[in-house]
Amino acid sequence: MFKIQGLDPINNEILNVLQRNAEISVKQIAYKIHKSESATHERIKFLKKGGFVKRSVLLLDYTKFHKVEMAYVLVRLNDHSSLAAANFYQKVKTFDEVMECSQITGHFGFQLKIVTTCSRAFYIFFETKLKAIDIVGETCTNYVLAEHKYETAFKLS
């Protein structure tokens, strides 16, 4: 589906496998793509060195946590300058509750994915951290009721 310029189908296969399981051994990858271990290892090194792999992480199943509340907050800044936007996202990067921060088009300039342990914790975050940023103007909060699809892997062709 997605293509990365400069990569051949074998490199795409390797990335597809690694996106699903970053802990898989080189031997297992080599078997899946029908290449030798040494050739596979060299390709993985090339992909990492070339910046095609941002990082390898372990994804936790948040449904196993005792309490998790997730919300998306749309934020409109009072100041629409590039400097104000840069200051805003540098500030929200420091908040543990903010899992994602995207600059978007439309009426609001940013979308934040917020994760807290309860509505009270969200309220405290909202009042003492987010609203404390002096350039934050209008906000709109949407609580997540259920997550029906969650993917982190791009399907490469």
Whether the pLDDT of residue 66 is over 90: the answer is no
SS3 145: coil
Q: What per-residue string of b and e applies to 88-112 under the rule 16 or more CB within 10 Å gives b? A: beebbeeeebbeebeeeeeebbbbb
pLDDT tens, position by position, 99-155: 999 999 999 999 999 999 999 999 999 999 999 999 999 999 999 999 999 999 999
What pLDDT does residue 41 have?
A: 98
Domains and CATH numbers, the chain: 9-49 (1.10.10), 62-143 (3.30.70.920)
User: Nearest-CA neighbor of 109 among 138, 77, 141?
Assistant: 77
**Alpha helix positions (H), 21-140:** 26-33, 37-49, 82-92, 119-125
Whether the pLDDT of residue 54 is over 90: the answer is yes
